[in-house]
Amino acid sequence: MTEFVPPGTRYIDLPSPFPMRRGGELRGARMAYETWGTLSPSRDNALLIVTGLSPDAHAAANEGNPAPGWWEPMVGPGKPIDTRRWYVICVNSLGSCKGSTGPASIKPGTHEPYRLDFPQLSIEDGAEAAVHVVRALGVDQLACLVGNSMGGMTALAMLVRHPGIARTHVNISGAAKALPFSIAIRSLQREAIRLDPNWNEGRYEEDSYPESGMRMARKLGVITYRSALEWDGRFGRVRLDSDRADEEPFGLEFEVESYLEAHARRFVRRFDPNCYLYLSRSMDWFDLGDYCLEHGIDREADTRAGLASIKVEKALVLGAETDILFPLQQQREIAEGLRAGGAEAIFVPMPSPQGHDAFLVDFERFGPAVADFLSTL
Amino acid sequence: MTEFVPPGTRYIDLPSPFPMRRGGELRGARMAYETWGTLSPSRDNALLIVTGLSPDAHAAANEGNPAPGWWEPMVGPGKPIDTRRWYVICVNSLGSCKGSTGPASIKPGTHEPYRLDFPQLSIEDGAEAAVHVVRALGVDQLACLVGNSMGGMTALAMLVRHPGIARTHVNISGAAKALPFSIAIRSLQREAIRLDPNWNEGRYEEDSYPESGMRMARKLGVITYRSALEWDGRFGRVRLDSDRADEEPFGLEFEVESYLEAHARRFVRRFDPNCYLYLSRSMDWFDLGDYCLEHGIDREADTRAGLASIKVEKALVLGAETDILFPLQQQREIAEGLRAGGAEAIFVPMPSPQGHDAFLVDFERFGPAVADFLSTL
């Protein structure tokens, strides 16, 4: 599955064995990462980015890979995350197929991918693996920990499990736990993949990739990543030109359908279906309140108590008003919880029309907000 | 496909041939309907209900069928639509599989269902067929025309094409045109059915019903019919008891997943997939502004002008604030458009948490609103 990994990706071995939270362990596992800028002699300028479900570690162009990254307008010299000042690290999530060990990686002692033999993956496992990368790069405390979407969950798990790992925190379109609407959407995406006969309980090959299941999952993703408001203005009821219209019965007819199709085509075969299933489910399982269970503080998961147990000096929490997958109330909850824990936490709801994906496109709003926050550090 | 039709259903033949708006015609077609109450000697107390995608004509218990109907708390003696006063008619939509002629009906001259040989179906065809039923029952003018969801589209098409067909109008969670978010959702539902190998371009049989496609389509429907807000309160992050949990990899684990599964089970095999595809697409195509094109008023569809061309005395427009499929702005647009046409139109946004389905469950809010309106007639 090396075709998924961008050139210039670097690796750090995880401890072997690497125990997994829900049972089992990994042997010979590693994390893919990239960096930008230079670690200061006092090692106090490190900023880690933990990502959403699908991105690789290539957030922006760097010496190892001059191609633009998935967050190019945000990371670089003079950009909101200014690499002249910050030593920026971005990791590919544990369980992904873009360099870090996951279900598509070769299972030690075999010549086959793990597939469904990969142990159950939780957000907390990704957090532990990211903390290991930080330490291995010689950083005791991050100046700032930035998490987007699923990465917002990972960041909170890092903070709750490793007090002092970061001095400040930026949480963008994240959540302290999965809500049932989001669980329902992700469950349906997984069902689409599982129903594809090619999935075959994870035993697909290159020539039997479960393309239609992944296409459905991605389309449903794109629908919930954006917003109805944006699409009203962007697509309206515009039809495809007759030469682009689909001859199949009930085929594509409207621009919005063609947009979904194009998105699905770009995604399918560039992401491993088993990795998708594992990462998707890890989000459903996530509740920061599990901290209370694990520490015997309470018999029930208490998300608020989990948040309030986090100690950071300052935090910036951003979200889009039109986000239906990680709705704004969840970012408000994070800000309030961090404040209850003593942080100076700023909550900035963005009127972006682009929904959950706003942080990947609405740089006019998200850029200055992040830049302003970092300039106060 | 007679198993879909409730007992006590009555029928009215459509003119033969019955021309279809987008081309082709039906021969020997008929409409299924039920009635409640008695038509007054002056024939001025008729109230017609046109429905959403899936309901049959059995809105409530009556002499022909004492079983509760899909809108039982709304229709009956002393209920909001009081059958002691009103002669209530409910039609099954043209193109459905619950009695009215549709793709699952036998194609004349053959022993086979129409399947994809059924002509393209538009909301306007359903409107023409419903008008025919009204006339055939001896009613020149309805005292009130009530349309829910897709039926809200059908009702508007009836009113624009047949001035005077109704004196007043109740539009519930309806829309004057399909917006791109809703088109995207429905397109994905149709794709799920089309991707099911059993669909086989519509040539399935009883023992090769495209069950997994219909299950996916229904689950996506249920997700968009309800709201995140309702589910937070109703399901939270509650897990299934271990004896109900699913042993399959990535199987059901949360209550919300089990809820979707139960809904899908109740729907699958009780609705014909081809009928679903036809009705679903008819909604995407709908724009009341096409009236302007057809009448040479404008070169582009002008939804507002279409609404303002409708002449009714009074209208009540209801919607749920949490509806993501037919969002509240669409009901506001209907009320404003009808008002521009001279109607005394009341717009009542409901704070119901149940989303698009609120009119089927939140009778405490929708019941009194409808009853109050009808009491002013």
Mean pLDDT in runs of 10 for chain B (377 residues)?
81 98 97 98 98 98 97 98 98 98 97 97 98 98 98 98 97 98 97 96 95 96 93 94 84 95 94 98 96 76 92 98 95 98 98 96 98 97
- B272 CA to chain A: closest CA distance, Å? 16
Active site residue B208: no
DSSP string, B244-302: TS--STT---BHHHHHHHHHHHHHTTSS-HHHHHHHHHHHHH-BTTHHHHHTTS-SS--
Residues B293, A261: Cα–Cα separation, whole Å: 30
Residues B59, B34: Cα–Cα separation, whole Å: 8
Active site residue A323: yes
| Per-position b or e across B312-321, b if 16+ CB within 10 A of its CB | bebbbbbbbe
Partners of A287 in beta bridges:
A177
Partners of A144 in beta bridges:
A47, A168
Which of A6, A192, A173, A35 lies closest to A98, judged by CA?
A6
Does the pLDDT value for residue A1 go beyond 70?
no
Between residues A60 and B299, the one the model is more confident about: A60
What six digits make up the tokens of A317? 């929490």
pLDDT confidence tier of residue A3, bands split at 50, 70 and 90: low
Which of B195, B232, B257 is nearest residue A187 as measured by Cβ atoms?
Answer: B257
Catalytic residue among B149, B227, B282, B352: B149
Answer whether B180 sits within 8 Å of A254, measured CB to CB. yes
Active site residue B323: yes
- B167 CA to chain A: closest CA distance, Å? 31
What six digits make up the tokens of A372? 């302003």
Residues A209, A205: Cα–Cα separation, whole Å: 6
Kindly provide the ipTM of the predicted complex, given to two decimals: 0.94
Which of B187, B219, B228 is nearest residue A179 as measured by Cβ atoms?
Answer: B228
Answer whether A180 sits within 8 Å of B212, measured CB to CB. no
Disruptive mutation site among B153, B181, B261 for chain A (greatest number of A CBs within 10 Å) = B181
| Per-position b or e across A221-256, b if 16+ CB within 10 A of its CB | bbbbbbbbbbbbeebebeebeeeeeeeeebebbbbb
| Chain Cα centroid distance, residue B27 | 24
Inter-residue contact A11 to A30 (CB < 8 Å): yes
- Which residues of chain B have a CB within 8 Å of the CB of A254? 180, 183, 187, 284
Q: Which amino acid is at B165?
A: I
pLDDT of residue B3: 63
Phi, psi angle pair for A90, to nearest 5° = -130, 130
- Which residues of chain B have a CB within 8 Å of the CB of A187? 252, 254, 256-257, 260
pLDDT confidence tier of residue A243, bands split at 50, 70 and 90: confident
Cα torsion at A76, A77, A83, A89 (round to 10°)? Answer: 20
pLDDT of residue A294: 81
Catalytic residue among B125, B323, B352, B362: B323
Q: Which amino acid is at A357?
A: D
Residue of chain B whose Cα is closest to the Cα of A257: B184
Residues A172, A349: Cα–Cα separation, whole Å: 10
Structure confidence by residue, pLDDT tens digits, A171-189: 999 999 999 999 999 999 9
Catalytic residue among A58, A132, A169, A356: A356
Which of A212, A254, A281 is nearest residue B250 as measured by Cβ atoms?
Answer: A281
Secondary structure E strands in chain B: 10-13, 18-19, 25-26, 30-36, 46-50, 75-76, 81-82, 87-91, 142-148, 166-172, 314-320, 344-350
Q: Which amino acid is at B371?
A: A
The three-state DSSP-derived secondary structure of chain A is: CHHHCCCCCEEEECCCCEECCCCCEECCCEEEEEEECCCCCCCCCEEEEECCCCCCCCCCCECCECCCCCCCCCEECCCCEECCCCEEEEECCCCCCCCCCCCCCECCCCCCECHHHCCCCCHHHHHHHHHHHHHHCCCCCEEEEEEECHHHHHHHHHHHHCCCCEEEEEEECCCCECCHHHHHHHHHHHHHHHHCCCCHHHCCCHHHCCHHHHHHHHHHHHHHHCCHHHHHHHCCCCECCCCCCCCCCCCCCEHHHHHHHHHHHHHCCCCCHHHHHHHHHHHHHCECCHHHHHCCCCCCCCHHHHHHCCCCCEEEEEEECCCCCCCHHHHHHHHHHHHHCCCEEEEEEECCCCHHHHHHHCHHHHHHHHHHHHHCC
Which of A361, A323, A360 lies closest to A226, judged by CA?
A323
Binding residues of A, as ranges, are: 218, 357
Cα angle B34-B36-B40, degrees, rounded to a multiple of 5: 120
Inter-residue contact A1 to A32 (CB < 8 Å): no
| Per-position b or e across B78-93, b if 16+ CB within 10 A of its CB | ebbbbbebbbbbbbbb
Residues B373, B377: Cα–Cα separation, whole Å: 7
Inter-residue contact B148 to B133 (CB < 8 Å): no
Domains annotated for chain A, with CATH where assigned, are: 2-177+288-375 (3.40.50.1820), 183-279 (1.10.1740.110)
Answer whether B227 sits within 8 Å of A181, measured CB to CB. yes
- B309 CA to chain A: closest CA distance, Å? 21
Secondary structure E strands in B173-253: none
- A309 CA to chain B: closest CA distance, Å? 21
Binding residues of A for substrate, as ranges, are: 218, 357
Lowest model confidence (mean pLDDT) among A29-38, A58-67, A173-182, B224-233 = B224-233
Which of B188, B235, B277 is nearest residue A219 as measured by Cβ atoms?
Answer: B188
Give the neighbor-by-neighbor strand order of the sheet with B10-13: B10-13, B30-36, B87-91, B46-50, B142-148, B166-172, B314-320, B344-350
Three-state secondary-structure class, residue B159: helix
- Which residues of chain A have a CB within 8 Å of the CB of B265? none
Residues B287, B182: Cα–Cα separation, whole Å: 13
